[in-house]
Structure 1
């Protein structure tokens, strides 16, 4: 994998037209995990959505572009009527990345491959959603609270997948309140809080 560095230069972002963060400047080189820290409402989700190209920054520059980025949001993004294997095959077809065996094995989904996604437990559905990352072929992963609904085994599998991605020269930016056992560079967003955010500062929908 030949990942370009993830670079944010003076980035400012807003939610619902209200500035949340400003002056965010950081560089993550290939093989690096960037761990976003901050309380609920600090702007972690908004920043990840901006890096992913789902909304434009109100200031600053971001590289690389969205075509190099895979975004793992809160929603699992699966079609309930399709099986686990069919869901993954769909995404592999979208990204042109071939087989789904590695993704099934990495997240312990092989024995569930013929089960409809709508019949999965919350943790199984989360693993299925995360398995899509391996099918994107993209070097920069943006992960927003990726371990929600995962049990200890699922968290362990996720950590292994991310470490393998980093070992191949990929990059991960992860917003989490959980210790994932992944060595990374912390980015505390409290230091970039926009001056116009009220003292209580809670945009409650943004974690």
Structure 2
């Protein structure tokens, strides 16, 4: 498998509702796919399937390399200062502090390193989650509404981080209500699958 992520004939059922079936996609190094569609179309569920957090009702999910996920939860300890919360994940991901430093610089979060995560705004929490993803070294980024709450400058940093990740051979699966202006972005309309 030359792809980093492959889904073949995948179906997803949540509760008693079939969200989608017979869905196949593949992401190779440098690829990015935008999942779009209305609320409830299955965008977040597909991201969670790709991450291995949900099991497919049918079909297979194959990953080559590690995944890093952004979803509605920041996964950062709200009681800790931001840098300590990020350093916890750096140890889990077995990356050094320099990776965290570079990621904090990329997302302009260094000035907030001593601020408790609980005190960060919505946009700052999304930027902090993106720092965690960048620093992880994962080849597959699974980003569910990563720009929520971000201002224009932060969105620009997000797009630059995605572009750099793709240039370095990473792949991105992105669920969003808007395209963010990312170059060479393939699209999958989840609303058309229902």
Instruction: Output the TM-score relative to the length of structure 1.
Output: 0.87
Q: How does 1:109-124 map to 2 (within 5 A)?
A: 109-124=109-124
Cα pair 2:34 2:179 within 8 Å, conserved: no
Which deviations, in whole Å up to 9, do the C-alpha atoms of 1:17-70 show, x marking residues without a partner? 4211001112221101011111111110111111111111011111116x6211
Query: Where does residue 158 of structure 1 map in the other structure?
Result: 158
SS in 2 for 1:132: helix
Cα pair 2:3 2:26 within 8 Å, conserved: no
What stretches of structure 1 move > 6 A for 4+ residues in a row? none
Query: Where does residue 180 of structure 1 map in the other structure?
Result: 180
Cα pair 1:123 1:149 within 8 Å, conserved: yes
Q: Distance in 2 between matches of 1:124 and 1:191?
A: 33
SS in 1 for 2:55: coil
Q: Distance in 1 between matches of 2:180 and 2:192?
A: 23
Q: Which runs of 5+ in 2 are unaligned?
A: none
Query: Where does residue 77 of structure 1 map in the other structure?
Result: 75
Q: Which runs of 5+ in 1 are unaligned?
A: 194-207
Query: Where does residue 104 of structure 1 map in the other structure?
Result: 104
Q: Distance in 2 between matches of 1:173 and 1:31?
A: 11
Query: What's the RMSD between the two structures over aligned residues?
Result: 1.5
The match for 1:86 among 84, 87, 92 is 84
Q: Distance in 1 between matches of 2:76 and 2:4?
A: 30
